[in-house]
Amino acid sequence: MVRAMDKKQKNIKVGIIVSNKMEKSVVVKVDRYVLHPVYKKFVRKTKKFMAHDENNSCNIGDRVKIVESRPLSRRKRWVVTEIIEKAK
């Protein structure tokens, strides 16, 4: 029997697709805002994640939600769960 505290909630991030040139893979750019410790100003930090896109349905500029998963390849540890907004 698994207790509620034993189960870890999966990490979820929202970002924008920057590359979809691979088969069933996309690169997602995730921005976050962090308060600078000295200057007390919010600074934008960006990180890119490779994510699995099973149906090749994502295009560059789409806003997507990605969820952490088991390692799928050397660099892929995320899966695209939904397309929030299509690119114009």
12-65 pLDDT, tens digit each: 999 999 999 999 999 999 999 999 999 999 999 999 999 999 999 999 999 999
**CB distance 15 to 46 below 8 Å:** no
Take residue 69 and report the two structure tokens written for it: 């998963």
3-state SS, residue 43:
strand
Residue showing tokens 């490779």: 50
Global confidence as pTM = 0.86
The pLDDT of residue 77: 97
The C-alpha atoms of residue 44 and residue 68 are separated, in whole angstroms, by: 22
The C-alpha atoms of residue 41 and residue 14 are separated, in whole angstroms, by: 23
